[in-house]
Amino acid sequence: MIRRYSLAQLTTLELNPPAMISTAAETGYQACGIRLLPVKPGGVGYPLMDDPAMLRETLARMQDTGVQVADLEIIRLTETFKAQDYLRFFEVGQKLGATNILVAGNDADEARATASFAQLCEACRPFGLTADIEFMPWLPVDRLSSARRIVETAGQGNGGVLMDPLHFARSASTLDELAALPKSLIHYAQICDAPAGIPTNPEDLIYTARSARLPAGEGGIDLKGIFRQIPADTLISVEIPNDEQRARMSAQDWAKHCLDTARQLLDQVEPIR
């Protein structure tokens, strides 16, 4: 079984898209993710929609290296969401040959969030993109069951659920629920590890997610149990931001270490579907 791996933008957030492509190629990844929009106002993002020179350079690096762009970040389903606001996002995604959009559920009104998700799926489908909700325990869409419910109720063929082991382990989600998640809803999955235990406040949950994840096998998450439920042909996005460890390594060395540990662990896992 030969798995495919993608370097997530958050693992090496300081790298712009051309550098992401080059680093992924140099360290053994087949793909990478690009953060076109920041997670929060003032955060890091690389808006290729407004930078034609960097877009050209990114495409040239892809051609030179053979590395693909897998997922694009990040679209948030808020109470004011309008899919037409992201037309240039979709257009750039199509030019890059990207396949997935990482989506966060920020709207506490589930009916409205579901309608927004359906609208997003319809709008991005002509550009060859899926929309994949990443449930996060500090957001309204906080667990696997709520993400699945939104995707299935929206009823769009390009809708999916993105499984992040950190969020899975720290939310009210179970292996039985993951085993029951239809394969058709799993377009890609992330891998990381983290210390055992669950923080009791959102600030600590967010800090770990953005700054203190661990390479696979260095923490307490049941990664083997989780990835037995993930189809073998699923693209694996290696998302491991860690400010302390990262400060001691170059971007290339960190990216390679994260990939090596992910491979070492997943090589021991035989998916059951």
Classify residue 191: in a domain, yes or no.
Answer: yes
Classify residue 112: in a domain, yes or no.
Answer: yes
Task: Compute the distance between CA of residue 197 and CA of residue 183 in angstroms, rounded to an integer.
Answer: 29
pLDDT in tens, the chain (273 residues): 689 999 999 999 999 999 999 999 999 999 999 999 998 888 999 999 999 999 999 999 999 999 999 999 999 999 999 999 999 999 999 999 999 999 999 999 999 999 999 999 999 999 999 999 999 999 999 999 999 999 999 999 999 999 999 999 999 899 999 999 999 999 999 999 998 888 888 899 999 999 999 999 999 999 999 999 999 999 999 999 999 998 999 999 999 999 999 999 999 998 887
User: In this predicted structure, what is the pLDDT of residue 1?
Assistant: 63
Classify residue 51: in a domain, yes or no.
Answer: yes
User: In this predicted structure, what is the pLDDT of residue 104?
Assistant: 97
Classify residue 138: in a domain, yes or no.
Answer: yes
Task: Compute the distance between CA of residue 102 and CA of residue 100 in angstroms, rounded to an integer.
Answer: 7
Classify residue 272: in a domain, yes or no.
Answer: no
Classify residue 273: in a domain, yes or no.
Answer: no
Q: 3-state DSSP call for residue 119?
A: helix
Sheet containing 100-105: order of strands: 159-162, 130-134, 100-105, 68-77, 31-35, 5-7, 235-238, 188-191
Task: Compute the distance between CA of residue 150 and CA of residue 112 in angstroms, rounded to an integer.
Answer: 10
User: In this predicted structure, what is the pLDDT of residue 272?
Assistant: 81
Classify residue 183: in a domain, yes or no.
Answer: yes
Token duo for residue 211: 């700054």
Give the CATH number for residue 124: 3.20.20.150
Classify residue 142: in a domain, yes or no.
Answer: yes
* Domain residue limits at 93: 5-266
pTM as predicted:
0.95
Count of domains observed in the chain: 1
